[in-house]
Every structure is written in structure tokens, then in C-alpha cells.
Structure 1
Amino acid sequence: MSVATLDERVYEELQALEAIFAPDLTINREDGIPKTIKMNIVPYTGDNIDEQYVRLTLEIKLCPDYPEKSPQVTMKNPRGLDDRIISRIHRDIKGKLNANIGHLIVYELIEMVRECLTQSNLPQGQCVICLHGFKNGDIFTKTQCFHYFHNYCLGKHLISGKKYYEEELDKLPSWQRVEAKPYQQTCPVCRSTVQFKVDDLKTAPPPLESLDAQPFQLTDEIKEMQERMQALMAHQISRGGVIGVGDLEPPPLIITDPAEVEEPKSSSSGAQNVATPETSSGARDGANSASAATASVTRPPYCGPYRGFNRRGKPGRRGRGGAR
């Protein structure tokens, strides 16, 4: 695509798009020539941005012969849309492109996708906390990262997360508590930082599907699946594919707490072997023969509370280079 052969109508279309949709629309150019158009599309909700529950990114790659040849259109980062709706939008885009070869089509594509999102402005799929879907009448919320949860479920999740954090914090020694980061609410899906008032979330009613859900029953199908999983687990253990089950060797990684490390116990008799000139020569020969037997015995690494402590820096000790 060169400036000499580029259709002048393309430049006019892009200028109009930037004037209408900025800052949601970006145009990537190479040597001043437009190559790719990206647009974050959300439903029509007026000024109420909090009611925009779905979105996607439309990426349009302009070919050298556009508009005589259809551009390449890709949908990325859909939020709140299931595969059925995405497939329908994809079919509509393909039909629109085939019916408008030779015409400027970018604006119409954006408006068509926006209209589809407006009609489907209700999160599809399930709440990942309760595994129930979203129905009309449910009170749900949208995170800043465009993930959706029932208010009732998210409130319980945040309360449990803070409780778990405080329990783990209590297990740490005092010096680690000072350095520990404060509790931060995170999205259950992507772990992005979120900010919600838990007291407001707790007042929401539970999901409608949970009220009508049948109590759990252990069916024959579930029993059969459990038997298959048990057989698979036994096979993985027999082949060494599961760590920590039936292992006779030490685990590959041991994390010890300084408080759990016990000091080595001294001998109960308290007796010490003292070498004399008469026995030193014989003991030397015996030591040489015993060294081969004890060569494989190594002293375990120190895991006590002073591991890594610079003892030269302790009060009352002479530092390196200090006066004698």
C-alpha cells in the first residue's frame, strides 16, 4: 500500500472515525500509512457506564486494495459473552463484509457490533464462585477487569479471603508480621486488585438459581466417575507421577520454621574422650580406618533462627578491622 495508490476515501473515513470514537479508537500507522484499526466496543447505556456489562475489542486490518477488497476483522478480549453470541457476531460481520465489497465499511461494522452488545448486555456463563448463572432479578457486580459475580457470592468470597489472610498472618513470627503486606482485595478470576465495600455486598440476596437448585445427590454417574478417578490416581502413584503419596524417600523440598528446630541434645553421660600421648598413635590409625565408614555421614545444614546472621556484627564482638 503506497500513498500514491491509496484511495483518498480511506483517509476521509479514518478522520471521521477518530473524530467520532476517540479515545476508544486507535489507528496504527507505518510510514504515515494506516495499517490497523482497534476499537474497544461497549453497549449503548448512555452516561451510565456501570451498566456496561459486556465488551470486546474489534481489530480491523486494512489490506492494500481496501475498500475494493474486504479488510481482515478479528474479535479479541471478549468479556461477558459466551461462544454462542461471539459466533453470531462473527457470522454477522462476515455477511456484512461480503455484501459491501467496494464500500467503506468500518463505521458500519463498529455500529453493528455495538448493537449486538447492547442486545446482549447481560453477563453470560456462570458466576465462578457459586457456579450459578445470571438471571433477570439477580444482583451482580462488574469488576474493573470486566469479570462478573453475584454481590452475595463476592461478599462471602472477600470475607473468607480476609479471614484466611489473618489466620496465616497469626502464624508468622513477629518480625515477619511487620514486613507483611496488608490485605488487599483481589478478583477471584484474574487476581487483579479490586475495591468493594463488603458491608454493601452482604446485604444482597443469594442468586435466584440457588434458591431453586435441587439438593446434591450422589448418583450412579458420579459414583462411576469417582471409580475412574481412583483408578487413574492409583496408576499415577504407581508410575511416580504423584509426589507425597506413598513416598519412602524424603520430600524434595522441606520448609522449616525456626521455632520448630530443636537444639541438638548433649550426651547423657557427659563424658569426654581425651587423647593421651600413649593412645594418640593408635587412635590416629583407628581414625583413618573409621573415616571411610563415616565419609557418607554429613552434618545437616543449620536451619536455626540465626541462619545467615553475621556474628561479627553482634554487640560485644570485635568487628572486622577493629581494635584488638
Structure 2
Amino acid sequence: MSATVDERISDELEALEAILMNDVVVKKVNDVPEIIETVVHPSTGDDVDQQFVCVTLEVRLTPGYPDISPEVTLRNPRGLDDEVLKSIYTQIKRKLLDCLGQPVVFELIELIRENLTESNLPSGQCVICLYNFVEGDVFIKTQCYHYFHSYCLASHLIAGQKYYQEEVDKLPSWQQMQAPQYQTCPVCRCRVTCDVEVLKAAPPPVDSITAPPFCLTAELKALQVKMSALLARQVARGGVVGMGDNGPPPLTITSPSDNDGGSTSQEADKAEALASARPHTSSENAPGSPQARPVYRGPYRGFNRRGKPGRRGRGGPAAGSR
């Protein structure tokens, strides 16, 4: 039997579903609402392409809500830096205190939407060129809400397509026909759809043009010296592969023909060194000891369960040794 739901919560859920429709998800346990979740976008009218930021609002209805404040979490922020998220959390706490005793979910949605509208530009760096987004940059938002300079994304897709095609050409013809087209997000690897020719026509990032020329500072020189010493140490200890043909290969593959005629001189030297290093005791040369018996060099015949004459039975001494 399901528990009784507060009438204020029922009215709030009906209003949210009537306004947001399929954009709100209500998770219930035993017919009791427990979590309200929705993705909040900035207010841009009907122009969805101008929505450059978004965040998922999750409101967990605590027992006693709305007389007790719910637990609020912001998940999957896109295009928002830590400062903006910190400011939104501060405003949410203030709103929860002001609206204590009444439904607050719709108030939280409107509060977050106002902040997103004010910050409707991607913050942070383009992960391809590592330059910030500044005024005058031409950038693109992918379907997964990641942002790149159009010029940078075009260069990335062109280079990626080249190496991808090289690998596809190595496949059999029937697999080449089934291979998908290469266009993925550099951050999350989701499929993206964009016109590379249009992106390629965009100008480079503003900061890449106005950036001062590279200068080798004293700090970089000291770092070079430090890294050179570290590289030399790793090479001396055999920790770097591919630094030339001076050392032995990391792996040697031999064929059966290489082992014909016995072991090599290096293997013989190693065996002799191991034999000389092995401690000898008087019991090894004692009569009847295992070490005094001649080593069998003939073909291996396995165990003989019936103990035929001239053959060794299982677990017993050789025939004629008694």
C-alpha cells in the first residue's frame, strides 16, 4: 500500500508536467515521488542553436518536504566553469531558505535558467588548441554540448579522417563497406554531424593570432636540463625503448632452425656459469644417489602401468635394478 503524498507535492508535480511536459522526469518509490530531474537551458526563445550552456537539475525530495528543504544537485554542466556553478549553488541555498514550507522546484528551475541566460557563452579552453574563447572567436557546439573553435575542430576532423582511412584500407573489402564514417567528439567520442568545409572556412582563434611569439625563458631552459638528465638516467637503466640500435632488442624471436645442433655458445656459457655457481655436497656423488645415476638420453616412452620387463613401472625402480 502506497504512502499518502502531500497535496502540495501533488499539485507541484502536476504543474511541472503541464509546463515542462516530457522535459521533466519524476522517479517514484512505491508510488511516492522521490527525485525530480530536468535539464535546464538558457532562455533563447525558439532558437535552440543559440543555447550554448546547460545543466541537469536533480531535486531529491526529503521526508517532510516541503516543510524541510530538499537535496539539490547540479549534474553534467556544459559550458559552465566552477565559478558560475559556485554562484548558482549559493543562490540555491538562499532560495531554499526563503521558500521553506512551500514547493520550490519550479523556483529553482527559473533561478538556474536566469543564470544560464547570463552565462550563455562557453567558458574555459578549447581542448584542441588550449586557447580560451574570447570575443570574435567562431566556435561550434556539438550535439553533446562540447565546444571547439570551428577552425580547430575542422583541423582535428581532417587529420583524424586521414589516419582512420589508413586503418580502414587495411581491412577486407566486406569490412570496409560496413565501416562507419569518422566524425566523433574529441572529448566524449560521441558521433557528431558537421560540415567540415564550412568549419574549415572559419578564421583561427583570436588568441592564436594575437599571442606573443614564443620565447625560451630561463625557467624552460632549467626544465630542459632537468628532463635531459632524467632521460639519460632512464636510457642508462634500460627504461627507454626506441632510442637507437645500440642496445639489444627488447624481444628476440627465434625459429626451430636456430636451435639445431645444440645450444649456442652464449647458452653454453650461461649453463657453465650456473653449474659452477651451484653448491656441491658430498651426497651428490654418493653411490645410489640420484645425481650419480646416468641421465637417460633415449626417447621418452612415458609410464608403463603393467611393468613390462626392461621398462620402469609407475613409481617403482627400473627393471633389473633390484
Give the TM-score normalised by the residue count of structure 2: 0.71
Q: Which residue is equivalent to 2:163?
A: 164
For the 8 Å contact 1:27–1:35, the answer to whether it is kept is yes
Could you tell me how far 1:191 is from its partner in structure 2? 1.2
State whether structure 2 residue 45 is matched by structure 1 residue 49: no
Q: In structure 1, what is the Cα distance between the partners aligned to 2:131 and 2:83?
A: 18
Change in Cα spacing, 1:228 to 1:75, as seen in structure 2 (3 Å) is farther
Comparing 136-145 with 52-61, which one deviates more in the overlay?
Answer: 136-145
Could you tell me how far 1:227 is from its partner in structure 2? 3.6
Q: In structure 1, what is the Cα distance between the partners aligned to 2:235 and 2:107?
A: 58
Q: In structure 1, what is the Cα distance between the partners aligned to 2:91 and 2:76?
A: 18
- 1:244 is aligned, of 221, 241, 245, to 241
- 2:208 is aligned, of 207, 210, 223, to 210
For the 8 Å contact 2:185–2:191, the answer to whether it is kept is yes
State whether structure 2 residue 127 is matched by structure 1 residue 118: no
For the 8 Å contact 2:160–2:182, the answer to whether it is kept is no
Q: In structure 1, what is the Cα distance between the partners aligned to 2:19 and 2:236?
A: 64
- 2:183 is aligned, of 179, 182, 185, to 185
Q: In structure 1, what is the Cα distance between the partners aligned to 2:30 and 2:234?
A: 57
Could you tell me how far 1:221 is from its partner in structure 2? 1.6
For the 8 Å contact 1:169–1:177, the answer to whether it is kept is no
After TM superposition, list the pairs within 5 Å mapping 1:248-263 onto structure 2.
248=248, 250-251=250-251
Render the CA deviation track for 1:40-86: whole Å, top value 9, x for unaligned. 00101111111111001010000111111100000100000111111
Q: Which residue is equivalent to 1:30?
A: 29
Change in Cα spacing, 1:221 to 1:177, as seen in structure 2 (3 Å) is farther
Q: Which residue is equivalent to 1:288?
A: 297
Is the partner of 2:88 in helix, strand or coil?
Answer: helix
For the 8 Å contact 1:132–1:209, the answer to whether it is kept is yes
Could you tell me how far 1:177 is from its partner in structure 2? 5.2
Render the CA deviation track for 1:201-239: whole Å, top value 9, x for unaligned. 111111111111112222122223334444555666677
Q: In structure 1, what is the Cα distance between the partners aligned to 2:24 and 2:237?
A: 54
Change in Cα spacing, 1:217 to 1:177, as seen in structure 2 (3 Å) is farther
Change in Cα spacing, 1:72 to 1:205, as seen in structure 2 (3 Å) is same
Comparing 177-186 with 29-38, which one deviates more in the overlay?
Answer: 177-186
Q: Give 1 or 2 for the bigger CA radius of gyration.
A: 2
Q: In structure 1, what is the Cα distance between the partners aligned to 2:234 and 2:173?
A: 40
Change in Cα spacing, 1:220 to 1:40, as seen in structure 2 (3 Å) is same
- How many residues of Structure 1 are paired with residues of Structure 2 in the alignment? 260
Question: What letter corresponds to residue 288 of structure 1 in structure 2?
Answer: R
**Percentage identity across aligned positions?**
49
Could you tell me how far 1:167 is from its partner in structure 2? 3.6
Q: In structure 1, what is the Cα distance between the partners aligned to 2:101 and 2:189?
A: 46
Q: Which residue is equivalent to 1:74?
A: 73
Change in Cα spacing, 1:104 to 1:213, as seen in structure 2 (3 Å) is same
Change in Cα spacing, 1:215 to 1:289, as seen in structure 2 (3 Å) is farther
Q: Which residue is equivalent to 1:277?
A: none
Render the CA deviation track for 1:74-127: whole Å, top value 9, x for unaligned. 010000011111111111111111222212111100100011001000000011
Q: Which residue is equivalent to 2:276?
A: none
Question: What letter corresponds to residue 38 of structure 2 in structure 1?
Answer: M
Q: What is the Cα-based RMSD across aligned positions, in Å?
A: 3.3
Q: In structure 2, what is the Cα distance between the partners aligned to 1:99 and 1:233?
A: 61
Q: In structure 2, what is the Cα distance between the partners aligned to 1:66 and 1:236?
A: 62
For the 8 Å contact 1:165–1:183, the answer to whether it is kept is no
For the 8 Å contact 2:234–2:240, the answer to whether it is kept is no
Could you tell me how far 1:154 is from its partner in structure 2? 0.9
Could you tell me how far 1:194 is from its partner in structure 2? 1.0
Is the partner of 1:288 in helix, strand or coil?
Answer: coil
Could you tell me how far 1:245 is from its partner in structure 2? 5.9
Q: In structure 2, what is the Cα distance between the partners aligned to 1:249 and 1:132?
A: 42
Is the partner of 2:158 in helix, strand or coil?
Answer: helix
Q: Which residue is equivalent to 2:292?
A: none
Render the CA deviation track for 1:291-316: whole Å, top value 9, x for unaligned. 9xxxxxxxxxxxxxxxxxxxxxxxxx
Change in Cα spacing, 1:168 to 1:93, as seen in structure 2 (3 Å) is same
Q: In structure 1, what is the Cα distance between the partners aligned to 2:234 and 2:23?
A: 51
Change in Cα spacing, 1:177 to 1:3, as seen in structure 2 (3 Å) is same
Is the partner of 1:217 in helix, strand or coil?
Answer: coil
Change in Cα spacing, 1:22 to 1:245, as seen in structure 2 (3 Å) is same
Change in Cα spacing, 1:8 to 1:244, as seen in structure 2 (3 Å) is same
